[in-house]
Amino acid sequence: MKKTHILLTVFGAAALFLPLSNLIGLTGKNPVIAPIAGTSANFAAVSTILQNKCVDCHSPGMTRLPIYADLPIAKQLMADDIANASARLVISKAMYSGETGFTPLMLARLEGAIRNDAMPPALYLSMHWTDRVNETEKSTLLAWIAEQRSKLAWSADTAPALKGEPVQPLPLQLTLDPNTVALGRQLFFDKRLSGDNTLNCASCHSLAKGGTDQAKTATGIGGQVGPINSPSVYNAGYNLAQFWDGRAADLVEQAAGPVANPGEMGAEWDHVIASLNQVDSYRTAFAELYPQQGLSKAGVTQAIASFEQSLVTGNARFDQYLRGSTDSLSAQEKQGYALFKENCTSCHFGPTLGGLSFEKMGRKQNYFQLRGTALTTADNGRFNVTKQENDRQVFKVPNLRNVELTYPYFHDGSIASLDEAVKIMAQVQADKHLNQDEADSLVAFLKTLTGEYQGISLRQLRQTDLE
């Protein structure tokens, strides 16, 4: 009895000095669920690793809890750990059994955690000595992630040796109706869409300026200064949603917003449609291409969206590299890509290196304190849409295609140079301080993402080329 009392006292002392949330799983492992028939041998190994090392915090409802889990303090701490983990990555039973697949976002986040030894956390490992993901398990997981990426349609024309990369090339050809695109292009440049016939879509999204206005924030009708930086219209069709806060579900919904916004184009849709109806070519085109909607708000926004879908800037030097031309990049640029994969691809992945997730601005350090200026409503980010506190200062991750031309940077347009933007992002998102050689290499890589529009490099594209 005396020995048992001593052991309980020691255990109790350890519990006092360590968060109770780190004591999850001390009751042992549940039997591993075998993947469904038809999954690969590789996935069977991956499923075992996920079940043994990840599900306690990343699979709500499947968590294995110790006997003291219902104690008030322990219950709350464990609930917080599980909530924080599942907010970042949920691995459901359907996923680790092979019934449903992992999205590109989940693959990116899983890879980031593996490469940076971010999971399990150090405090958790202090009480779970055997739960560390070992090197063999890391290799198994990373090989499976590469295998899954190789199956994506995005990877179809990637060189075989690079099909598992977190970034895929933009297509060289698109299958869009040329007549619809041409109509949308005409509307994109038509100032009848503004309340005083002075602005068009290109006013804030100049195709000769990387798809932006290269200004800190947009300027609207009557010279009104907008609250937020204009994101690039190039490659916007890849975004999971539109605007920094994701308030528009797609390009059609996005096209409708600025026209009627009193601080942007300041028009009324009824007036816009009446003005366009006075143009014979518009009436004819809409009758042919949109017989159901006709010349209406719905038809206009669909046509503009079709044109914006065509704004894909392929054939960047990095695309050439991904297609197999390994000498397209210099040694410094390849080093920059290696650093990028190590630090950035949890958020900046896919064909446009972003636009596919929402992330907090300042995951590791407070960006807004570093900025040192008063908070604005625009700084609330996605919170302005969802009213959920967890979405405060969360923004759609910008895509990095043509990033050397889309300055100034961030939602607030506060940073003028790409070099400084790279350093700040490393600091506030990854808690890393880049030396100048690292920053130079990353900037060199990012400049390889500048592509072409209609066969002309965006570096050389001028307004006269668009007329």
Q: Report the sign of the C-alpha dihedral through residues 180, 182, 185, 186, in that order.
A: negative
Give the distance, in angstroms, between the CA of residue 112 and the centroid of all CA atoms in the same chain: 14
C-beta of residue 265 within 8 angstroms of C-beta of residue 199: yes
The H or E element spanning position 287 is helix 280-289
Contacts of 323 (CB under 8 A, 6+ apart): 157, 158, 159, 169
| CA pair distance 327, 231, nearest whole angstrom | 31
Please give the DSSP secondary-structure letter assigned to residue 102. P
Cα separation, 438 vs 425, in Å, equals 13
- Yes or no: say if 392 and 381 are a contact pair by the CB < 8 Å rule: yes
Query: Tokens for 316?
Result: 């960047």
Q: How far apart are CA 441 and CA 157, in angstroms?
A: 26
* Residue that is written with structure tokens 């390849």 in the block: 334
Find the helix or strand (DSSP H, E) in which 301 lies. helix 297-309
Q: Please state, in angstroms and rounded to a whole number, the distance separating the CA atoms of residues 189 and 379.
A: 30
- Residues with active-site annotation: 264
Q: Is residue 142 within 8 Å of 42, Cβ to Cβ?
A: no
